[in-house]
Each structure stands twice: as C-alpha cells, then as structure tokens.
C-alpha cells in the first residue's frame, strides 16, 4: 500500500507539485479503468498549538494558488468523525489524498510494458555505460548477473545497445548518473531510511490518514498514521540518515521517539500493540531543510542532460514519486520525442 498524495507540500512552482497533481489525477483514472485496488480515503493534517496552526494556514494558502482542494474542519466535526484523534489547534482536510495497492499497480505497469513489446531483465547489475559519440550513435549498457551465479562463465559481462537511456534507478540513480557524466557533474547520493510500525489492537482505528503538521528541519512529513486496503493501521516513516542503500534493517531504537510523536495526535493508543514492521529508503539529493521551505528544498530532477543524445536523468525521485509516476513518464516522453 502507498499513499496517493494530493501535492500540497512542495511549493507553487516546483516540479514535485506539478507532477504530483497531474500524476494523482492520472493514477486515480487508471485505477478506476483497470480495476487496480485503491481508496480515496482523504487525509487530515492536525495541529496541536498555534505555531503548528500557522503552518496549516500556510499550506491552505499555497493550495489555493496551485488549485489543490483542502479545507479546515471544526473541532466539533473532527470529534464527531474521528473521536480518538487529538487536534488541539486545528484540522486541515485533504479530500483528494488516498491509498493504492502499489503491488497491483506495479504488476499492471509491468504487464502493460511487456504487452507493448518491452523486455525486462531482472537481477542485472549495471557495471558500465558507454555513450557512443556522446550518445549520437547510441549507448552500450554492460551488465552482470546479480547476485553472481556459481558458474563463472555465466558471471561474465553482457552488453545491450540502445538508442536512448532513461536513468530511473531510484536509490542507485546517482551512481548510475556518475558512470555517464563527467566528474565535474557528479553528485553525492544521500539515503534517508524510514521505519514503519505496525499496530495490532482493534482500537483506536481511524478511517482517515492522519499527518502531524510539518516541522522545520525534520526531513520528512513526520510519523503519520496510514491505512492499508483492509483498514489496518500502521505508523511511519521516521527519518534515519544512513550510508548503505541496501540497509533495510528496522531500527527498534527509533520506536520510543515515534511513539512520542504518535501520542500527540492519537493519545488513546495501546503502546504495547505497536511493534516494528519494515523499513524503506528514500533517495535524497541532500540533507534536509524544511520540506515546505524553498531554502534547502530538493525538487525532483528530471532532465535531458546537455552534451548527451538520448539521455534522460531522473534523480531524487522520492515521495511523491509513485503518485507522480505516470506524469513523470509523460514528461520523459516529451523530453525525448517532442
């Protein structure tokens, strides 16, 4: 399960906002047409004090400018709809936020790709990429099976050629980009691991996503309450900066800090029913400023790289990347062919 984001946090002129808003519309339409499981369940952003309420008013004003529907609801309505949720200062509701069965979505995209003649090579580690005459004569992409097979001959490198290359390799996008671009255009990758926590009690169980108001310097959107397609509650992600993009160990030392944040908006939770669940890793272009601030804000990087024919580079595609995915594909097509 993944959140379908509304596009409310990323500033009026950012690529994240434009692609998220367009992608959300496309994703809901595709889910409806293809029977991909989803729910337009909505989301609350909750404030506990005046400073946090000011942040909600700022979000509300930004959303008016970009055309994303949000609205404040009264404390009385909040208590009537979700009596277990605490929002001491205010609630901003996002009615276009939802959830999608991301596994089913990926299965559909993979099947559609292969139906259109695409070929998928899994477990292939890219070892080098050679632009032929800076891409004008195409690209050589060298791979080796991963993990390496026991048969030494099978472990030899193989090569495919292509007219174009789209680097959309997520956590490994910057290392792949650095294989191609000259040293003066290299970047340093950053990785933010987020641990999620399961909740095994039947109460409280809100029916809407709950997010705390954004906090300066947090590097994410706070430890929020999300739901799966069956209505089960989970919390996360937190933010832990790591060096290894393969380190998916859940850090149980993060649980007390997450609990302290969760109880601010859901004080009636059974602490003993919250347990570590799993972790994900977000590719970052830098360490944090405030997610709603232009200073330190890291936008999506979707660029046809100068000096190389047929090379589109996608870097820093973290949240809301899945929501934006269909709109990102549109943009890549325009960069290459229009």
Nearest to 178 by CA among 188, 186, 166: 186
| Average pLDDT value for residue range 292-310 | 84
Composition of the chain by helix, strand, coil, percent to 5: 30, 25, 40
pLDDT tens string 218-256: 555 678 999 999 999 999 998 899 999 999 998 888 888
Q: Please state at what angle helix 102-115 crosses helix 15-34, rounded to 10 degrees.
A: 80
Cross-strand partners of 303: 313
Radius of gyration for the chain, computed over Cα atoms and rounded to the nearest angstrom: 21
Domains of the chain, residue spans: 121-163
* 9/1 Cα distance (integer angstroms): 21
140-192 pLDDT, tens digit per residue, is 999 998 776 666 566 688 999 999 999 999 999 999 999 999 999 999 999 99
pTM score: 0.92
């Amino acid at each position: 399960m993944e959140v379908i984001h509304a596009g409310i946090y990323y500033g009026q002129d950012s690529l994240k906002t434009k692609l998220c808003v367009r992608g959300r519309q496309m994703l809901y339409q595709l889910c409806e047409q293809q029977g991909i499981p989803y729910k337009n369940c909505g989301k609350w952003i909750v404030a506990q004090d005046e400073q946090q309420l000011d942040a909600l008013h700022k979000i509300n004003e930004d959303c008016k400018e970009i055309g994303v529907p949000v609205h404040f609801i009264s404390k009385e309505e909040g208590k009537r709809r979700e009596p277990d949720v605490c929002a001491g200062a205010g609630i901003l509701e996002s009615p276009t936020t939802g959830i999608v069965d991301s596994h089913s979505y990926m299965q559909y995209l993979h099947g559609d790709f292969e139906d259109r003649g695409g070929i998928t090579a899994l477990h292939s580690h890219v070892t080098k990429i050679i632009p032929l005459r800076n891409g004008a004569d195409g690209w050589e992409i060298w791979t080796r099976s991963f993990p390496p097979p026991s048969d030494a001959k099978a472990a030899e490198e193989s090569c495919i050629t292509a007219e174009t290359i789209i680097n959309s390799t997520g956590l490994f996008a910057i290392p792949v980009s650095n294989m191609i671009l000259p040293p003066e255009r290299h970047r340093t990758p950053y990785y933010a691991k987020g641990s999620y926590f399961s909740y095994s009690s039947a109460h409280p169980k809100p029916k809407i996503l709950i997010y705390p108001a954004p906090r300066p310097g947090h590097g994410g959107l706070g430890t929020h309450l999300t739901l799966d397609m069956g209505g089960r509650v989970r919390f996360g992600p937190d933010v832990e900066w790591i060096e290894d993009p393969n380190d998916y160990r859940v850090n149980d030392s993060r649980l007390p800090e997450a609990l302290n944040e969760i109880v601010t908006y859901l004080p009636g939770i059974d602490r003993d029913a919250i347990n570590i669940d799993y972790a994900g890793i977000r590719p970052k272009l830098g360490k944090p400023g405030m997610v709603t601030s232009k200073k330190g804000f890291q936008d999506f990087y979707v660029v046809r790289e100068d000096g190389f024919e047929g090379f589109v580079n996608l870097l820093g595609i973290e949240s809301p990347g899945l929501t934006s995915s269909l709109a990102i594909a549109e943009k890549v097509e325009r960069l290459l062919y229009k």
